[in-house]
Amino acid sequence: MGFTFQINHEVDFTHDSGMLSEADQSRPKLISQTVHANYVVTIGRAKKEGKHATPTQIQDISALAASSYGRSQSVILDFGQHYVGYFSVNISAVGSPMDAPLYLHIRFAEVADELAQKPEDYNGWLSRSWIQEEYVHLDELPATLSMPRRYSFRYVELTVIDSSPKWQAQFENPTVRAVSSADDARLPKLATADTELKQIYSVSVRTLHECMQTVFEDGPKRDRRLWLGDLHLAALADYATYNQTDLVRRCLFLFAGLAATDGRIPANIFTGKEPEADDTFLFDYSMFFVSTLSDYYKHTRDHETLDRLLPAAQTQIDLALQYVDEQGQLNLPDNWPVFIDWSDKFDKSSCAQLILIYTLKQFIGLLQECKQSTESYRNYVDILSQYVLVSRRDSKTGLITSGSKSEVNVATQAWTVLAGVLPRIDAAKLMRQTINQLFPVRGIATPYMYHFIVQALFEAGLRDEAIAEMKRYWGKMVELGADTFWEAFDPDDWFYSPYGNSIISSYCHVWSCTPAYLIHKYC
Distances (CA, A) of 331 to 338, 356, 399, 403, 477: 11, 11, 21, 11, 37
Site string for a copy of itself, 181-220 (x = CB under 8 A): ----------------------------------------
Among 10, 29, 62, 129, binds a copy of itself (CB under 8 A): 129
Q: Minimum distance between the CB of residue 206 and a copy of itself, rounded to whole angstroms?
A: 24
| Beta bridge pairs of residue 268 | 227
Among 46, 62, 149, 395, binds a copy of itself (CB under 8 A): 149
Q: Minimum distance between the CB of residue 6 and a copy of itself, rounded to whole angstroms?
A: 8
Distances (CA, A) of 391 to 398, 401, 414, 456: 12, 9, 18, 22
**One-letter amino acid of 89:** V
Q: Minimum distance between the CB of residue 16 and a copy of itself, rounded to whole angstroms?
A: 17
Q: Minimum distance between the CB of residue 125 and a copy of itself, rounded to whole angstroms?
A: 7
* Cα dihedral sign, 261-265-269-275: positive
Are 339 and 266 contacting, i.e. CB atoms less than 8 angstroms apart?
no
% helix / strand / coil in the chain, to the nearest 5? 40, 20, 40
Closest CA to 240 of 293, 189, 180, 285: 189
Q: 99 or 479, CB closer to a copy of itself? A: 99
Half-sphere exposure of 262 (CA within 13 A, CB side): 13
Stretch that binds a copy of itself, among 2-10, 76-84, 282-290, 414-422 (CB under 8 A): 2-10
Angle at 70 between CA 68 and CA 74, to 5 degrees: 75
Angle at 414 between CA 369 and CA 434, to 5 degrees: 150
Q: Does 103 bind a copy of itself (CB under 8 A)?
A: yes
- Could you give the CA distance from residue 86 to residue 371 in angstroms, rounded to a whole number? 49
Closest CA to 478 of 207, 91, 284: 207
Q: Minimum distance between the CB of residue 124 and a copy of itself, rounded to whole angstroms?
A: 10
Stretch that binds a copy of itself, among 133-141, 294-302, 406-414, 483-491 (CB under 8 A): 133-141
Distances (CA, A) of 87 to 34, 152, 207, 285, 292: 10, 10, 20, 34, 35
Q: Does 128 bind a copy of itself (CB under 8 A)?
A: yes
**One-letter amino acid of 361:** K
Among 36, 125, 307, 479, binds a copy of itself (CB under 8 A): 125
Among 88, 164, 199, 374, binds a copy of itself (CB under 8 A): 164
* Cα dihedral sign, 292-294-296-302: positive
Among 45, 48, 118, 137, binds a copy of itself (CB under 8 A): 137
Are 241 and 208 contacting, i.e. CB atoms less than 8 angstroms apart?
yes
Site for a copy of itself in 332-391 (CB under 8 A): none
Q: Does 95 bind a copy of itself (CB under 8 A)?
A: yes
Q: Minimum distance between the CB of residue 170 and a copy of itself, rounded to whole angstroms?
A: 15
Q: Does 5 bind a copy of itself (CB under 8 A)?
A: yes
Site string for a copy of itself, 54-73 (x = CB under 8 A): -----------------x--
Q: Does 248 bind a copy of itself (CB under 8 A)?
A: no
Report the helix count and the strand count for the chain, using DSSP H and E: 15, 14
Site string for a copy of itself, 249-288 (x = CB under 8 A): ---------------------x-xx--xxxx---------
Q: 129 or 322, CB closer to a copy of itself? A: 129
Stretch that binds a copy of itself, among 95-103, 234-242, 343-351, 436-444 (CB under 8 A): 95-103
Which chain residues interact with a copy of itself by CB under 8 A?
5, 7-9, 71, 95-103, 125-130, 134-135, 137, 139-140, 149, 161-166, 222-223, 225, 270, 272-273, 276-279
